[in-house]
Amino acid sequence: MPHLPPNSVASAERHLADWNSVALPHEDVAAAGQTLIGRELIAPPYTHLIKPSPPVFSKLVKLDKAVRQLAEAAPEVLAGAEVVQALEQTLIRVMIQCLSEGQEIEVGNAYWRHVAVMRRLENFLEANPDRTLHLTDLCEAAAASDRTLRILCQEHLGMSPTRYLLLRRMHLARRALRMADPTTATVTEIATSCAFWELGRFAVAYRLLFGEPPSATLRHPPEDPQQISGSPWRLPE
């Protein structure tokens, strides 16, 4: 994967389009398997890597691309519950095909050591959803050297850990702006709390990533924190 140049959030956004994840609870996967292929798909006791057949994987990629294009060109269409449900069911059907028809990939001990590093990193990030983090924090939490963590993040996330941290801080800032009271909070206050000290550069990067300036996000009525689910920026599963 190409290296992302410093301060290029637009490049990062385009780059992230190549990395996606689909997650379902185990019980939903089992039920979908029973319905679609006549047998439950039970989670194995240890992680499996599965390589889908080229035709099925191509179908999944095309479906993902179509959904993203629809979200960009006509987001109002996705506001309809029937449309969302139809897309969801289609994605589940193709995912079940990938799981049931794919070929298991054998991996060595080195792979599982790398997985353990990334799992420690994920657990640390989940435990610190609102904290501004630095590369040294990640290395310590993952029990890995700077070089090892850079290699593994490039392999698993498609970006360096510093790029990941930048995007994570951008999402932390956006969540804070969405929750803030515009009559008392300021963009400067929120940006600096997320360690963005060059406010002009922050505003440009924010607009490129989210499609609106941070001041516009702040002007919206404050959102209920309960409606902003989960961690602001999760590792792909």
- Where do the H-state alpha helices sit in the chain? 9-16, 26-37, 54-73, 81-101, 109-127, 135-142, 146-157, 161-179, 187-193, 199-210, 214-219
pLDDT of residue 68: 80
Residue 235: which region, alpha, beta or left (left: phi > 0; alpha: psi -120 to 50)? Answer: beta
pTM above 0.85, yes or no: no
* 72's tokens: 């960009």
Who wins on pLDDT, 157 or 58?
58
Residues counted in the chain: 237
Lowest mean pLDDT among 13-27, 125-139, 156-170: 13-27
Is residue 86 scored above 80 in pLDDT?
Answer: yes
Is residue 51 scored above 90 in pLDDT?
Answer: no
pLDDT of residue 69: 83
CA atoms within a 13 Å half-sphere pointing along the CA-CB vector of 6: 0
The average confidence (pLDDT) of the chain is 80
CA separation for the pair 218, 182 (Å, rounded): 6
Is residue 136 scored above 50 in pLDDT?
Answer: yes
Is residue 105 scored above 50 in pLDDT?
Answer: yes
